[in-house]
């Protein structure tokens, strides 16, 4: 691995760490900034994904749709106070073409409710496409593939 | 604390009161299994074209009882209890699969055909003349327990009861017609999801049938003036109260100023609140009758939803007295073009576990469940729109919730 490659790997590590920190620290307003303007974001189950079924529990085809999601979570939807803790590991570059990278990564998300109740809320992998945007990497596509089709109660904060 | 059916005295106000105990008492839950889910009710099993080939099967539940649904060699849909006639093992372990040679129990290799008839058992004659089944054992006496099935508008329902009338009669013309209104083509599954709800299944069914809460709990719609109780609509209810369909017309038929005033005490309206990218709400009046929302339930636990162009069937499965699995199957139709499919996918953002207008429904039943301890002998008050369960040309009513209890109570002898 040459220095350029090591640098790129560290950039990816940083990207996923920043992404997780954003969601886990309730900085949701910054979350859409991790995406390109014409991004595709969806949350689905492995069952749907493997059968080629296109449904998303959250399904967005622009950065503005992500901003709308955040506005609704802040001002319209009702859900109990809760926080996530993302553990992301196993970041792999699956393919590279031009400046864009197809990247996958594993995640675990622990959800803690206001009364301290804590569950392993989600496990799965990100199937991403990232692009250079100036000095930063941005998600042009992020498919959150959940291992389980079951969601406990509701899915409010994005994954 | 009193438990069970015998000690429960239903309040004199009838269906306008529901004792909280019915949502938490394990004895009532146990009785419900036999009297409601294994009783004279029709429950959703599958979409007719979900199992296209002979040998295709899926597993599901009649309440908490495991069920196999197959496409038989005769081309018909069959359904039977997923419990080996031998020692009670689950015969099919997978959620779906293909078994063209019939079904074989993994435990002792008893084999059944796709209609659930026992066709062979391993070592029936023993080994070298020793062991084996007695001569008196007859295969035909030991099949899987069979359900009656009935297809309606492309949806297959099943029951273990011989008393339930045919489905069309069970659901009635009015609600039946409203199923047909949505299921106009061959369904195409777009995906599935499920939610674990920490509440009794009936609290979710009440929520589905409760037209009163929609614009109050789900503030997304109100904020964007997508649906308010002041938009034209109403609720159709089967005579027995068992089934319902609430509907809303897309056009605001009152004036916005009056509507804003009615809501002003309830929520602060975000006057400047606009979606940055409202494309996901672009909808098409595909049915052509102006109804943009229809939520329909068939007693006890089936829901068909049309929210703009998002169509889904929901199955409400009890998992003990205080837990429920809510299964969603989102569909389009085989003749949808790419733009229509995209529209349905976009609008699916409105519903499901992360739905803009449904995520609260996943939680509110649990909130009630958590508030019940200590109130088992007290009752909820269900009096919006009176104490009857007749159809009403408004959604500011709880008539269809009362209808549910009107159907549930006689089955339970309450």
Does the pTM exceed 0.80? Answer: yes
Question: Is pLDDT at A155 greater than 90 in this prediction?
Answer: yes
Average pLDDT over residues A145-152: 98
Cβ distance B93 to B107 under 8 Å? Answer: no
A-interface mutation test, from B277, B310, B347, most A Cβ less than 10 A away:
B277
CB-CB contact of B221 with B228 (8 Å): yes
Is B156 in contact with B46 (CB distance < 8 Å)? yes
Chain B interface includes A115 (CB < 8 A): no
CA distance to partner chain A, nearest, from residue B313 (Å) = 14
On whether any CB of chain B is under 8 Å from the CB of A65, the answer is: yes
The complex scores an ipTM of 0.96
* pLDDT in the model for residue B282: 85
Task: Specify the pLDDT at position B74.
Answer: 96
Per-residue pLDDT of chain B (414 residues; tens, 9 = 90+): 677 888 999 999 999 999 999 999 999 999 999 999 999 999 999 999 999 999 999 999 999 999 999 999 999 999 999 999 999 999 999 999 999 899 999 999 999 999 999 999 999 999 998 999 999 999 999 999 999 999 999 999 999 999 999 999 999 999 999 999 999 999 999 999 999 999 999 999 999 999 888 878 888 877 766 556 667 889 999 999 999 999 998 765 455 555 556 655 555 455 556 788 988 888 899 999 999 999 999 999 999 999 999 999 999 999 999 999 999 999 999 999 999 999 999 999 999 999 999 999 999 999 999 999 999 999 999 999 999 999 988 888 999 999 999 999 999 999
Give the residue from B238, B191, B198 showing the smallest Cα distance to B344: B191
Phi, psi of B257 (to 5 degrees): -65, -45
pLDDT at A116 over 90: yes
Burial status of residue A109 (CB atoms within 10 A of its CB: 0-12, 13-18, 19 or more):
buried
Q: Are B185 and A42 in contact (CB under 8 A)?
A: no
- The residues, any chain, with a CB within 8 Å of residue B210's CB and separated by 6 or more, are B398, B400, B401
List the single residue in B276, B325, B352 with the smallest CB-CB distance to A67.
B276
Check B363 against A76: CB less than 8 A apart: no
Alpha-carbon distance A30 to A39, whole Å?
A: 15
Residue A14 CA to residue A16 CA, distance in Å, equals: 6
The average pLDDT across A51-77 equals 96
Residues in chain B whose Cβ is within 8 Å of chain A: 189-198, 217, 219-220, 223, 270, 273, 275-280, 325, 330, 341, 345-346, 348-349, 352-354, 356, 359-360, 362-363, 366
Cis-peptide, bond into residue B300, ω within 30° of zero:
yes
Distance from CA of A75 to the nearest CA of B (A): 8
* pLDDT of B400: 96
Predicted pLDDT of residue B63: 97
Average pLDDT over residues A118-123: 98
Residues within 8 A of B (CB atoms), A 66-105 only: 67-68, 71-72, 75-80
- How confident is the model at residue B41, as a pLDDT? 98
> What pLDDT shows up at residue B272?
59
Show me where the domains of chain A are located.
3-146
Q: Residue B64, exposed/middle/buried by CB under 10 A (0-12, 13-18, 19+)? A: middle
Domain formed by A3-146, architecture: Roll (3.10)
Q: Which residues pair with A95 in a beta bridge?
A: A102
Alpha carbon of B59 to those of A17, B56, B69, B78, B343: distances in Å?
40, 11, 6, 12, 30
**Domains of chain B with CATH codes:** 43-150 (2.102.10.10), 177-412 (3.90.380.10)
d(CA B306, CA A93): 41
Contact between B142 and B86 (Cβ < 8 Å):
yes
């Amino acid at each position: 691995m040459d220095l350029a490659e090591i640098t790129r790997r560290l950039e990816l590590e940083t990207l996923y760490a920043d992404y997780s920190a954003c969601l886990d620290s309730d900085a949701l307003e910054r979350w859409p900034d991790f995406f390109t303007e014409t991004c595709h974001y969806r949350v689905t189950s492995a069952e749907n994904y493997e059968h080629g079924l296109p449904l998303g529990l959250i399904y967005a085809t622009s950065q503005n749709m992500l901003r709308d999601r955040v506005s609704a979570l802040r001002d319209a939807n009702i859900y109990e106070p809760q926080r996530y803790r993302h553990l992301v590991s196993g970041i792999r570059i699956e393919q590279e073409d031009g400046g864009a990278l197809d990247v996958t990564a594993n995640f675990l998300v622990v959800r803690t409710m206001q009364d301290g109740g804590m569950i392993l809320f989600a496990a799965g992998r990100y199937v991403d496409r990232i692009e250079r945007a100036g000095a930063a990497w941005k998600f042009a596509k992020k498919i959150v593939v959940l291992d389980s089709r079951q969601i406990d109660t509701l899915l409010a904060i994005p994954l | 604390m009193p438990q069970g059916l015998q000690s429960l005295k239903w309040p004199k106000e009838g269906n306008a009161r529901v004792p909280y105990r019915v949502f938490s008492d394990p004895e009532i839950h146990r009785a419900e299994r036999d009297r409601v889910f294994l009783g004279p009710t029709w429950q959703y099993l599958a979409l007719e074209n979900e199992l296209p080939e002979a040998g295709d099967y899926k597993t599901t539940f009649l309440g908490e009882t495991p069920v196999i649904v197959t496409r038989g060699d005769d081309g018909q849909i069959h359904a039977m209890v997923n419990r080996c006639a031998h020692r009670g093992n689950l015969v099919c372990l997978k959620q779906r699969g293909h078994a063209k040679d019939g079904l074989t129990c993994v435990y002792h290799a008893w084999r059944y055909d796709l209609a659930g008839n026992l066709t062979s058992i391993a070592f029936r004659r023993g080994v070298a003349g020793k062991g084996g089944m007695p001569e008196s054992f007859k295969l035909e006496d030991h099949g899987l327990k069979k359900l009656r099935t009935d297809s309606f508008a492309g949806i297959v329902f099943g029951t273990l009861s011989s008393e339930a009338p045919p489905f069309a009669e069970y659901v009635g013309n009015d609600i039946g017609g409203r199923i047909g209104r949505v299921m106009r083509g061959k369904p195409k599954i777009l995906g599935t999801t499920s939610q674990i709800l920490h509440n009794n299944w009936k609290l979710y069914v009440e929520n589905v049938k409760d037209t009163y809460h929609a614009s109050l709990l789900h503030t997304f719609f109100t904020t964007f003036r997508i649906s308010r109780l002041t938009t034209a609509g109403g609720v159709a209810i089967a005579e027995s109260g068992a089934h319902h369909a609430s509907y809303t017309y897309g056009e605001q038929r009152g004036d916005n100023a009056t509507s804003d005033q009615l809501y002003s005490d309830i929520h602060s309206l975000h006057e400047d609140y606009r979606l940055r990218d409202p494309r996901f709400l672009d909808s098409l009046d595909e049915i052509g009758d102006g109804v943009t929302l229809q939520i329909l339930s068939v007693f006890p636990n089936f829901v068909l939803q049309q929210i703009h162009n998002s169509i889904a069937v929901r199955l409400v499965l009890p998992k003990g007295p205080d837990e429920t699995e809510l299964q969603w199957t989102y569909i389009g139709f085989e003749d949808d073009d790419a733009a229509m499919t995209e529209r349905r996918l976009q609008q699916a953002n409105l519903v499901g576990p992360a739905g803009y207008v449904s995520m609260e429904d996943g939680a509110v039943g649990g909130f009630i469940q958590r508030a019940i301890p200590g109130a088992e002998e007290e009752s909820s008050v269900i009096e919006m729109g009176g104490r009857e369960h007749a159809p009403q040309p408004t959604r500011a009513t709880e008539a269809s919730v009362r209808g549910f209890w009107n159907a549930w109570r006689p089955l339970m002898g309450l």
